């Protein structure tokens, strides 16, 4: 199993200046008084243990991140300054914000700052060199630090100056959150306990083709739900009525099914479905066999018999990887299959029978909705990076931290 350089491998931290790459690209809302606030501080909380460990070890910590898409311009609305107070709240430390990420000002601020304070640098993407992984920008970032620690799995699929560039220059390590994430992912798909089940759902096959083609070579059961299942059912000659469906992908879907059969990966598609004429909460609906969907009906969820069958098979599995809801979970009652499966996976995990890893923006929302997320072995809040990992791609920001 691949090993990663961790904070301990950096050696003595006393007096060292450590640049921590975080993902502070958190969702921001505006309250009634027009004040901006962080609506979900999960990503801020996730980096606190790393920061506190570094400070405890005697290091001086500076935190860098991107925020939004300023594309190399200085856009005041995309300043990281509003994250200073939330970062202070979760760490219990003073946070000094600097409206720069490089230059002598960084050194001066670090020197002047209390040892256990945190320096928050300005949005990395105010510089074009960040996304271009410009060696000069990476060198400028590295110039004010002795060590580099990445704690941003969600950014590690991008080879940017702050994910790969600085890691090429400075002694580097994975932070505690990144280390935990990498171990969980390795456990789920690198060298998993078998049988392994993968659940892939969500809206479109086209957005997850590479995920499906990689998974059939790696897992024992591939459970396809959500809008994606419609494309596969249609490819098998089923009339899916007005369902969300990518008819032009029928050939691709058939070749995935054929390949899976050849390799011995069992594909699960729904045999009964929940159908409705309108895409809205509490729309009139009925449970029907997949063969009996009417022209004006949409499949909005996996049917109860199918989801019960899937749960029975899951009970024989030791590992589960999940991306994509089973149905239109945002509108009741079309959250039924997603919630049932989530609760079953959570119970199997709690009783020690299953290792469960899930990721994806809507998937995490769906598992929270089912009140199941806390019982999963690992929930990844990374969107693109999690999918690229499911596609079997090497993530540059992870590769560079291999020991």
Residues in touch with ligand ADP (CB under 6 A)? 201-203, 226-227, 244, 299-300, 323-325, 327-328, 330, 360-363
Closest CA to 222 of 322, 149, 141, 92: 322
For the record, the structure tokens of 51 come out as 């920061």
Catalytic residue among 57, 309, 384, 392: 384
3-state DSSP assignment of residue 175: coil
Total residues at the site for Mg ion (CB under 5 A)?
A: 2
Q: Name the minimum Å distance from CB 278 to ligand ADP.
A: 12
State which residue, 70 or 359, has the beta carbon closest to ligand ADP.
359
Helix ranges restricted to H, 186-249: 209-215, 226-235
Q: How many residues does the chain have?
A: 403
Pick 43 or 125: Cβ nearer ligand ADP: 43
Q: Which is nearer to ligand ADP, 166 or 224 (CB)?
A: 224
Distance in Å, CB of 192 to ligand ADP, minimum: 20
| Annotation says 17 is catalytic | no
Q: Is 342 helix (H, G, I), strand (E, B) or coil?
A: helix
Applying CB under 5 A, does 211 fall inside the site for Mg ion? no
Q: What angle do the packed helices 250-263 and 226-235 form, to 10 degrees? A: 90
Give the helix/strand (H/E) hosting 181. Answer: helix 176-185
x/- string (CB under 5 A) for Mg ion, residues 307-346? ----------------------------------------
Considering only the stretches 29-37, 312-320, 353-361, 394-402, report the one whose residues sit in contact with Mg ion under the rule CB under 5 A: 353-361
Q: How many CA atoms lie within 13 A of 120 on its CB side?
A: 25
Is 384 one of the catalytic residues? Answer: yes
Report the alpha-carbon angle 354-357-362, nearest 5. 130
Token pair for residue 188?
């789920």
Residue 272 in the binding site for Mg ion (CB under 5 A)? no
In whole angstroms, how close is the CB of 229 to ligand ADP at the nearest point? 7
Q: How far, in whole angstroms, is CA 37 from its chain's centroid?
A: 22
Binding partner of 139, given Mg ion, ligand ADP, none, CB within 5-8 angstroms per partner class: none
Is-catalytic flag, 204? yes
386 binds Mg ion (CB under 5 A): no
Min. distance of Cβ 203 from ligand ADP in angstroms? Answer: 4
Which lies closer to ligand ADP via its Cβ, residue 42 or residue 191?
42
Return the DSSP state at 332: T
Q: Which is nearer to ligand ADP, 226 or 241 (CB)?
A: 226
Q: Which is nearer to ligand ADP, 104 or 236 (CB)?
A: 236
Nearer to ligand ADP, 118 or 300 (CB): 300
- Whether residue 324 contacts residue 229, with contact meaning beta carbons closer than 8 Å, is answered with no
The answer to whether 41 contacts Mg ion (rule: CB under 5 A) is no
First to last CA, the chain: 11
Q: Please pick, among 107, 180, 204, 266, the residue that the annotation labels catalytic.
A: 204
Strand partners, 402: 4
Q: Is 86 in the site for Mg ion (CB under 5 A)?
A: no
Distance CA 286, CA 108 (A): 67
Residue 362 binds to Mg ion (criterion: CB under 5 A): yes
User: Which of Mg ion, ligand ADP, none has residue 397 at its interface (CB below 5 to 8 Å by kind)?
Assistant: none
Answer for the pair 260, 222: CB distance below 8 angstroms, yes or no.
yes
Radius of gyration, CA atoms only, the chain = 23
Task: Compute the least distance from the CB of residue 315 to ligand ADP, in Å.
Answer: 24
Give just the sign of the alpha carbon dihedral 365, 367, 373, 377.
Answer: negative
Give the shortest CB-136-to-Mg ion separation in angstroms. Answer: 36
Is 361 tagged catalytic? yes
**By CB under 5 A, residue 384 contacts Mg ion:** no
Residue from 49, 195, 361, 396 binding Mg ion (CB under 5 A):
361
> What ranges in 248-303 are assigned the alpha helix state H?
250-263
Catalytic residue, candidates 17, 43, 125, 290: 43
Q: Which of ligand ADP, Mg ion, none interacts with 323 (beta carbon under 5 to 8 A by kind)?
A: ligand ADP
Minimum CB–partner distance for residue 266 and ligand ADP (Å)? 21
- Note whether 320 and 197 are within 8 A (CB): yes
Q: 3-class DSSP state for residue 365?
A: helix
User: Cis link prior to 351 (omega < 30° from 0)?
Assistant: no
Query: Please, are residues 247 and 299 in contact by the beta-carbon 8 Å criterion?
Result: no
User: Of the listed 68, 105, 361, 392, which one is catalytic?
Assistant: 361
Interacting residue ranges for Mg ion, rule: CB under 5 A: 361-362
Which residues are part of the catalytic machinery? 43, 204, 361, 384
């Amino acid at each position: 199993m691949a090993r990663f350089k961790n904070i301990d491998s950096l050696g003595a931290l006393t007096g060292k200046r450590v640049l921590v790459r975080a993902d502070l690209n958190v969702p921001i809302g505006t309250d009634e008084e027009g004040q901006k606030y962080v609506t979900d501080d999960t990503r801020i909380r996730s980096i606190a243990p790393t920061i506190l460990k570094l400070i405890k070890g005697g290091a001086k910590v500076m935190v860098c991140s991107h925020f939004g898409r300023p594309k190399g311009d200085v856009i005041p609305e995309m300043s990281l300054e509003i994250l200073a107070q939330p970062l202070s709240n979760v760490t219990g430390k003073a946070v000094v914000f600097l409206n720069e990420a490089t230059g002598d000002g960084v050194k001066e601020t670090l020197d002047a700052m209390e040892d256990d304070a945190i320096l928050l640098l300005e949005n990395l993407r105010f510089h074009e060199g960040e996304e271009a992984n410009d060696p000069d920008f990476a060198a400028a970032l590295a110039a004010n630090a002795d060590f580099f620690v990445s704690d941003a799995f969600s950014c590690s699929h991008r080879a940017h100056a702050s994910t790969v560039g600085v890691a090429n220059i400075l002694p580097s390590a994975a932070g505690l959150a990144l280390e935990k994430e990498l171990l969980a992912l390795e456990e789920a798909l690198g060298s998993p306990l078998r049988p392994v089940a993968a659940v892939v759902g969500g809206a479109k096959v086209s957005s997850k083709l590479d995920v499906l083609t990689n998974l059939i070579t790696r897992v024992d059961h591939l459970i396809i739900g959500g809008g994606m299942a419609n494309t596969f059912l249609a490819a098998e000659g089923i009339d899916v009525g007005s369902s969300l469906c990518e008819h032009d992908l029928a050939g691709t879907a058939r070749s995935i099914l054929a390949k899976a059969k050849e390799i011995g990966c069992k594909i699960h598609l729904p045999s009964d479905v929940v159908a409705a004429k309108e895409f809205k909460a509490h729309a009139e609906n009925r449970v029907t066999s997949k063969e009996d969907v009417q022209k004006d009906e949409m499949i909005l969820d996996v049917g109860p018999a199918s989801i019960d069958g899937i749960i029975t098979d899951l009970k024989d599995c030791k590992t589960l990887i999940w991306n994509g809801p089973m149905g239109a979970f945002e509108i009741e009652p079309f959250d039924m299959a997603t919630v049932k499966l989530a609760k079953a996976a959570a119970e199997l995990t709690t009783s020690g029978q299953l290792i469960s890893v899930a990721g994806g923006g809507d998937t995490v929302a769906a598992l929270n909705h089912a009140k199941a997320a806390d019982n999963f072995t690992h929930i990844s809040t990374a969107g693109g990076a999690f999918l690229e990992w499911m596609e079997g791609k090497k993530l540059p920001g992870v590769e560079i931290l291999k020991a």
